[in-house]
A and B are shown apart, each in its own frame.
Chain A
């Protein structure tokens, strides 16, 4: 169980996350929606402690994550795997080594320095890649892959961490619709088969509706909605996305077509 208690983060005089409180049960798949700048990315980075909170606490199964330092902090990061919009792979390394990097937290300094991965770790990495349909490109350089493939490599790296939680920060924002579906399906599969909690930021409302049974809406750093997709009515969406004119849900979708955008049809 993951609990956020009055979590805040200030950048200068701007509150990126303002007093966010949440409880997420083990095995949930939760989507976070909101306009860009609403604090979604900051919230996920706070949980993984890539960003330090200004106020508030994060509790994981009762342990105060915000108080962790050094080795314990790194162990927590390994337990809460992170997927990034820009994949954040090491471009110049091959795919297999990138996946093996998911194991760095458990390795001794000497093994880290001299890239000494055990055969068992390599097998795990190949299996993770195979599960995501990427075993063939294991020896290719990461930057030789397409965006969709790179994001799946990142997911394989996350699987290597054997995490309790998977935090995905706009995992499909840099992908075309078909690759976006492959990546979202992979996240759903990990959630359902492995029972890993998935917490993902999404900028497309339709994706959030179809993949997540629970949706959290953020606006100006605050959590303004927490409920089921069916409860996302027009008034609720206006509080999340702001009420600049008439809100059209189709405008937050990536499956663009001329017909889907009435304003531009003529």
Chain B
């Protein structure tokens, strides 16, 4: 192959002549963007006192905390021992270092965990229903009334941008301490989050089916019900289950502001430094979340398999 000197090549010169200025402008743009991102990162790091040395110094203490979580003082003031020990694992509730001793309040945890899951189920169902109604008039390709689309879009945005914990905290005041406040908070956030996703699915729906229903004299409602819904429903259900997984995790922290579920118990045990109970609750939460995630993933794949 002959050596090619690109700068002498007529094609290269023609290219430079035509597009050189554009390429230079783009390079400058890229450099500027990188500079801005770096600047933002540095400023944020300084303001939040984020420093690598602090992380390195604190590392060993992470292990220390886990040590505390997984150890108990058999009697008040005694030296801590591991929360479980081989000789004692299957001992009764009175025998330290046994599973029964560690989880001696299992009945309370189980009831609260069940409440947590129910909160997630109710909130997801309510949010799903509201989103499924609001998403159609919030889709620009399906409704010509621009102001309605605009207002609903902004409403859904607002619903999903208010942090759930803040909402829960607000609702605890009028509705009292308990799951109701938490359910409402999660349901409202779910409406906003699912509403946006649903209306994106609607935007991708094939409009020929809609035109078909319009041509037979079907009302707008009929066009949505028969032209759009059958196309988007599998997607709705899949996103709904995904949201349920997220909501189970969210409802575990609702208790921190008094809005029901296992979070209230977790907050109490953290407050009183009852480390072994904190670890017992965390393990149970982890178990429930993992099991529900796996189950819902299975179901979602079946939906997608069946309908697509």
A interface residue numbers (CB < 8 A to B): 48, 50, 74-79, 81-82, 84, 86-93, 97, 101-102, 104-105, 109, 112-113, 115, 154, 157-158, 161
Contact = CB atoms under 8 A, between A and B. Distances in A.
B279 to A, nearest CB: 49
A104 B212 contact: no
Contacts of A78: 216-217
B231 interface: yes
Given A90-B230, A92-B231, A104-B226, A157 B216 contact: yes
Contact of A76 (B208, B217, B307): B217
A77 B212 contact: no
B217 A161 contact: yes
User: Chain A interface secondary structure, helix, strand, loop or mixed?
Assistant: helix
Interface in B222-261: 222, 225-227, 230-231
A97 to B, nearest CB: 8
A84 B212 contact: yes
Given A78-B217, A161-B217, A88 B212 contact: yes
Contact of A81 (B206, B214, B216, B230): B216
A101 B216 contact: yes
B93 interface: no
A104 B213 contact: yes
A102 B216 contact: yes
A90 B218 contact: no
B112 to A, nearest CB: 39
Contacts of A104: 213, 216-219, 222, 226
B216 A86 contact: no
Given A92-B231, A104-B213, 13 more contacts: A48-B215, A74-B217, A74-B218, A79-B217, A82-B216, A86-B208, A87-B212, A88-B208, A104-B217, A105-B216, A109-B221, A112-B225, A157-B212
A91 B206 contact: yes
B211 interface: yes
A79 B217 CA distance: 8
Contact of B216 (A87, A91, A92, A161): A161
B216 A93 contact: no
Interface residues of B, number: 20
Contacts of B226: 90, 93, 97, 101, 104
Interface in B186-224: 206, 208-209, 211-219, 221-222
A86 B206 CA distance: 11
Contacts, number: 83
A110 B30 CA distance: 56
16 contacts: A50-B215, A76-B217, A77-B214, A78-B216, A78-B217, A84-B211, A88-B209, A90-B212, A97-B226, A101-B213, A102-B216, A104-B213, A104-B219, A157-B216, A158-B216, A161-B216
Contacts of B222: 104, 112
A23 B215 CA distance: 22
A231 B241 CA distance: 65
Nearest to A114: B225
A6 to B, nearest CB: 24
A77 B216 contact: yes
A211 B108 CA distance: 80
Contacts of B215: 48, 50, 77, 81-82, 84, 88
Residue of B208, B212, B222, B230 most packed against chain A (CB within 10 A):
B212
Contacts of B231: 90-92
A85 to B, nearest CB: 10
Nearest to B215: A82
Nearest 10 pairs of A and B residues by beta carbon: A78-B217, A105-B217, A88-B212, A77-B217, A82-B215, A92-B230, A74-B217, A104-B218, A88-B208, A90-B209
B211 A101 contact: no
Residue of A90, A91, A109 most packed against chain B (CB within 10 A):
A90
Contacts of A102: 216
Contacts of A105: 216-218
A89 B210 CA distance: 9
A112 B219 CA distance: 9
Nearest to B207: A88
A249 to B, nearest CB: 32
